[in-house]
Amino acid sequence: MTNRVLTWLKNQFSSKELPSTPAPCFWQTDIHSHLIPGIDDGVKTLEQAMICIRQLADWGIQKVITTPHVSQEHYPNNSATILQGLAVLQQQVNLEGIPVQIEVAAEYMLDNYFLERLEKAPLLTFGTEKYLLVETGWLAKPMILDEMIFRIQTNGYTPILAHPERYSYYINDLNGLQRLRDQGCLMQLNWMSMTGRYGGHVKAQAKLILKNKWVDFIGSDMHRPEDLPALEAFLSNQGYELLSQQPLRNSSL
């Protein structure tokens, strides 16, 4: 809202009657980002992380659950490396007095080592439902995806598939996504997907997922300050309007 509009509003209403402007991110909690410096393909420095966090706070985000990649091949992170990074972020946020709570989980790759990882040690989750954020490779569905989802659930976690709109193997297979939902797997849409940031085919798929009301969580999946303009573009995108019709769980966290 521009200053001119604000001044006009103030002239029209007494301060008691002035309608409150809702924060653009009415979902309050961001559940997907890569803001721990230097441990995956996300931000490289603490300053970059802080640029992203300050902007999220300005958009109305009150809690950031950041989710570094965990995969055997590229990002062999574990709870210790991730929690260490969390402490550094929290310290800086407190120092600057930014009104945002920082928590951590992870984005687990459903690779060949995942089931071993699942059995070995407690995984990093969020919420009382023990939400576990997972992703797959872009091109091919894991051969044992059904079994992985089942084993996640029998180990006491609630699976959330990160950015279902981005997997090329689901582009012409909405039934496959429906099936996943029927199995109890929740879905998290990337808010940049609706801006065309990942291409027209992803945008079209994101629209279909929104139309089906399959978005349980919205997430920024922010990797670096360069993502901020695309994230901002979403706030005036038609997908933003559709968010209020989704069974969004972000605010319950």
What is the signed CA dihedral for 236, 232, 133, 203, rounded to 10 degrees? 50
Task: Count the site residues for Fe ion by CB under 5 A.
Answer: 2
Q: Does 221 bind Fe ion (CB under 5 A)?
A: yes
Which of 107, 111 has the CB closer to Fe ion? Answer: 107
**Identity of the residue, 67 or 246, whose beta carbon is nearer to Fe ion in the bound complex:** 67
The gap from C-alpha 109 to its chain's centroid, in whole angstroms, comes to 15
- 216 is a site residue for Fe ion (CB under 5 A): no
By rule CB under 5 A, what string of x and - marks binding of each residue 48-87 to Fe ion? ----------------------------------------
Q: How far is the CB of 24 from Fe ion (least distance, A)?
A: 21
Q: Is 227 in the site for Fe ion (CB under 5 A)?
A: no
Do 131 and 160 contact (CB within 8 A), yes or no?
yes
Q: Residue number with the shortest CB distance to Fe ion?
A: 221
Segment lying near Fe ion (by CB under 5 A), choices 4-12, 176-184, 218-226, 239-247:
218-226
| Range 92-151, binding Fe ion (CB under 5 A) | 107
Long-range contacts of 235-242 (CB under 8 A, 24+ apart): 235/24, 235/59, 237/194, 237/195, 238/194, 239/191, 239/193, 239/194, 239/206, 239/207, 239/210, 240/194, 242/210, 242/211
Binding mask 191-210 for Fe ion (x = CB under 5 A): --------------------
Q: Which is nearer to Fe ion, 95 or 139 (CB)?
A: 139
DSSP label of 1: -
Comparing CA positions, the residue from 60, 54, 53 lying closest to residue 23 is 60
Q: Determine the residue type at 200.
A: G
The binding site for Fe ion (CB under 5 A) comprises 107, 221
